[in-house]
Amino acid sequence: MNTLCLSFNELSLKQLYEVMKLRQEVFVVEQDCPYLDADDKDQLSHHLLIYVGEKLAAYTRLVPPGVSYPKYSSIGRVVTRLAFRGKGIGQSLMKNSISRCIELFPNNSIKISAQCYLEKFYTDLGFQDLNLRYLEDNIPHMAMLYKID
């Protein structure tokens, strides 16, 4: 497993293509959610990529405070390729993402918009339920916070 954390401008064209393709495969095709993925946040964010061999296995977008949420950094576009699910890569992806957010955006808690069925996954990582449920792209979501003191 090889983990990279790159700013938008550090991504190669090949890496950017792989990221966009993976996000579309899972969010648009697999989850049947037609939405505008290119939302102008990528250019402001860092991107955490996990490769297994030559294949992009998992990815997150690390968003600075003031972009998605006024007072919080954020981890978004959390995705693991179907062939790599159930192998612990999601845990590694999120632990790395949390660590990188703390490094990149010190003293900022991390807010996420999590799919409700993944509540236990995120609470086991230290996220707290903010008791706010909503539909996002017709999928039940919840607001969660990882507090940085």
37-77 pLDDT per residue, tens: 999 999 999 999 999 999 999 999 999 999 999 999 999 99
Q: Which amino acid is at 55?
A: K
CA 10 – CA 91 distance, rounded (Å): 25
What radius of gyration do the chain's Cα atoms show? 14
The parts of the chain modelled with pLDDT lower than 50 are none
Domain ranges of the chain: 2-108
What class is the 2-108 domain? alpha beta
- Give pLDDT, residue 33: 85
Contacts of residue 149, Cβ cutoff 8 Å, sequence gap at least 6: none
- The pLDDT assigned to 101 comes to 98
Q: Is residue 72 a contact partner of residue 65, using CB atoms and an 8 Å limit? A: yes
